[in-house]
């Protein structure tokens, strides 16, 4: 077994002519590494910490598989720690140098190996998709392959960086899902990167993150829509300027399910065509329908879409739909073609309020309420300018 090594490096000063009393060197500094060098079953969840006693750290090099491991010194330069947790079942090499004026430098060199994870936690899906271009209201949704007991530990391992950052927070909507929403909409035309530094995170008793995951997405143009169900009009703006006015017909409101929900919706997906079947009704029942609808953009989980319908007699005059917002076929086709997932669609004028957990109705919660289901805030890094 290769053993850890500690070296003291002394520098001799040779004087010129004349003689002087030799200065007695002070005691060299001491370097401590935690987990201890030569550990074979080191914990992963505490990361790696190097400290200097009686001096300051001049250099710390930690690598894994030949790649440097990110970490940082504290302001006193006496403590260095990894930015994130350590990977299970992995070898790390450490070289740390501490200095003190008037004494030899101390160098600690060695390796550690982390223990294997009894059970692992991983991601099974992410929203947005890697490389996707989305609207300014887009949330970040992470789904895990099992329930997360220690949500705070996992949340602290989640990092969001943006070219034009805005304040944001995670909220757990189920034992396996966490959602990130910004306080205000994303600034348009930028790249956002999400990194789940899960490897080595202790998510529960015997449960550890297995691997890290990183993906990036783009925020596109700022397109927003407003729908007034009382005036039967829809207006689409892009980067603050109106680009399309559309006459619409909304839910007839004869029943709860046929009432369009008011609130801040987000476009979620789209299809051309989409099969729509009346909820809770059998064939032959009053108001039963089973239709293929063109250019349908979904805005909730309760069956609401903005879609095409050739009933121009009602559009702009009367609400006659089964809860969706329908528009003239050519205008609905335009909206379908120009929509990105995460575009806000704000609907007003009905008696039914959009629930925050209906689809991506996350903007229905105030910022204060959104943060109530967050664990301690994760670290976010702002790029240097």
Question: Half-sphere exposure (CA, 13 Å, Cβ side) for 22?
Answer: 6
Could you read off the pLDDT of 137-168 as tens digits, one per residue?
999 999 999 999 999 999 999 999 999 999 99
372 close to 169: Cβ distance less than 8 angstroms:
no
Residue 258 has a CB neighbour count (10 Å cut-off) of 21
The arithmetic mean of pLDDT across residues 229-247, rounded, is 98
The pLDDT, as a whole number, for residue 383 is 37
Give CATH superfamily name and number for 223-349: L,D-transpeptidase catalytic domain-like (2.40.440.10)
Predicted pLDDT at 25:
66
Q: Would you say residue 380 has pLDDT above 60?
A: no
Q: Which of 132, 191, 188, 125 is nearest to 341 (CA)?
A: 132
Is residue 307 part of the annotated active site? The answer reads: yes
Lowest mean pLDDT among 14-18, 50-54, 267-271, 276-280: 14-18
Is 384 a residue whose pLDDT tops 60? no
Q: What residue ranges do the domains of the chain occupy? A: 5-113, 119-220, 223-349
- Which fold is adopted by the domain 119-220? Immunoglobulin-like (2.60.40)
Do 5-113 and 223-349 come out as alike in CATH topology? no
Predicted confidence (pLDDT) at residue 21 exceeds the cutoff of 80: no
Q: Does the structure show a pLDDT above 70 at 55?
A: yes
Q: Any idea which architecture 5-113 has in CATH?
A: Sandwich (2.60)
Residue-level pLDDT at 1? 44
Instruction: Tell whether the model's pLDDT for residue 377 goes beyond 80.
Output: no
Position 22 scores a pLDDT of 52
Residue with tokens 């039967």: 232
Q: Identify the active-site residue in 197, 265, 295, 307.
A: 307
What pTM value is reported for the model?
0.87
Query: Among 29-43, 273-287, 316-330, which stretch is predicted with the lowest mean pLDDT?
Result: 273-287
Confidence of residue 376 (pLDDT cuts 50, 70, 90): low
Residue 324: active-site member = yes
Predicted confidence band of residue 14 (pLDDT cuts 50, 70, 90): very low
Is 70 exceeded by the pLDDT of residue 132? yes
What confidence tens digit (pLDDT) does each residue in 342-366 have?
Answer: 999 999 999 999 999 999 999 999 9
- What pLDDT was estimated at residue 273? 96
What pLDDT was estimated at residue 295?
Answer: 97
């Amino acid at each position: 077994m290769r053993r850890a090594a500690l070296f003291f490096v002394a520098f001799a000063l040779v004087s010129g002519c004349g003689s002087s009393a030799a200065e007695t060197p002070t005691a060299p500094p001491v370097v401590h590494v935690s987990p201890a060098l030569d550990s074979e079953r080191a914990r992963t969840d505490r990361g790696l910490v190097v400290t200097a006693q009686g001096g300051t750290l001049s250099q710390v090099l930690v690598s894994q598989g030949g790649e440097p491991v990110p970490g940082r010194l504290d302001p006193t330069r006496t403590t260095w720690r990894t930015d994130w947790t350590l990977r299970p079942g992995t070898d790390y090499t450490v070289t740390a140098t501490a200095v003190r004026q008037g004494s030899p430098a101390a160098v600690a060199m060695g390796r550690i190996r982390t223990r294997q994870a009894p059970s692992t936690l991983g991601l099974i899906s992410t929203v947005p998709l890697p490389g996707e271009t989305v609207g300014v209201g887009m949330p970040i949704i992470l789904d895990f392959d099992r329930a997360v007991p220690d949500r705070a530990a996992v949340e602290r391992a989640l990092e969001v960086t943006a070219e034009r950052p805005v304040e944001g927070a995670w909220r757990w909507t189920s034992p396996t899902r966490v959602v990130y929403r910004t306080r205000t909409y994303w600034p348009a035309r930028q790249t956002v990167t999400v990194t789940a530094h899960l490897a080595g995170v202790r998510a529960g008793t015997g449960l550890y993150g297995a691997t890290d995951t990183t993906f990036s997405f783009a925020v596109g143009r700022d397109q927003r829509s407003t729908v007034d169900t009382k005036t039967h009009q829809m207006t689409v703006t892009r980067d603050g300027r109106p680009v399309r006015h559309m006459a619409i017909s909304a839910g007839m409101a004869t029943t709860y399910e046929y009432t369009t929900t008011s609130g801040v919706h987000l476009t979620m997906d789209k299809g051309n065509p989409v099969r729509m079947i009346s909820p809770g009704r059998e064939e032959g029942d009053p108001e039963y329908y089973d239709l293929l609808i063109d250019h349908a953009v979904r805005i909730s989980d309760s069956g609401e879409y903005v879609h095409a319908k050739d009933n121009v007699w009602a559009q702009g005059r009367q609400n006659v739909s089964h809860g969706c917002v329908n528009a003239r076929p050519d205008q609905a086709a335009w909206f379908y073609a120009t929509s990105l997932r995460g575009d806000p669609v704000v609907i007003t004028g009905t008696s039914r309020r959009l629930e925050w957990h209906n689809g991506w109705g996350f903007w229905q919660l105030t910022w204060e309420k959104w943060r109530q289901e967050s664990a301690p805030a994760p670290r976010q890094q702002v790029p240097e300018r």
